[in-house]
Amino acid sequence: MKITKAKSATTAFEQSLAKPGRPRYRLRLYVAGMTPRSAHSITNIKEICEVYLKGRYDLQVIDIYQQPVLAEGDQIIAVPTLIKKLPLPLRRLIGDLSDRHRVLIGLDLKPKQ
């Protein structure tokens, strides 16, 4: 399971290199149960992805209660946390993703002023 994941990550990385202008995004959103905040963050990221990354993103939503080992592996302390695994650099977006401006900066979709 892990190996295939790693492979797919590698391919994704290669793909992103191949198309320098429009890299492919690999995102993972950790939430804690189905709280309103969790739901809110899921809605937010999906909306952003559809607007800015249409067709070039993979989004995984993980409940830390369901997959605690995965959460520990990713050093999840705060929830919700969105991890931008690709393109590099790795970034953690903490919070319910309601501050769209900051989310776009965090995803390198908008330059920092």
Using CB under 8 A as the criterion, which residues of the chain lie in contact with another protein when the complex forms?
30, 32, 37, 41, 44, 64-65, 68, 71-72, 75-82, 89-99, 102-103, 105-106
CB of 104 to another protein, least distance (A): 10
Burial of residue 88, with CB atoms counted within 10 A of its CB: 0-12 exposed, 13-18 middle, 19 or more buried: exposed
DSSP 8-state code for residue 109: S
Query: Which of residues 23 and 96 has its CB atom nearest to another protein in the complex?
Result: 96
Q: Helix or strand or coil: residue 87?
A: coil
Query: Which of residues 18 and 27 has its CB atom nearest to another protein in the complex?
Result: 27
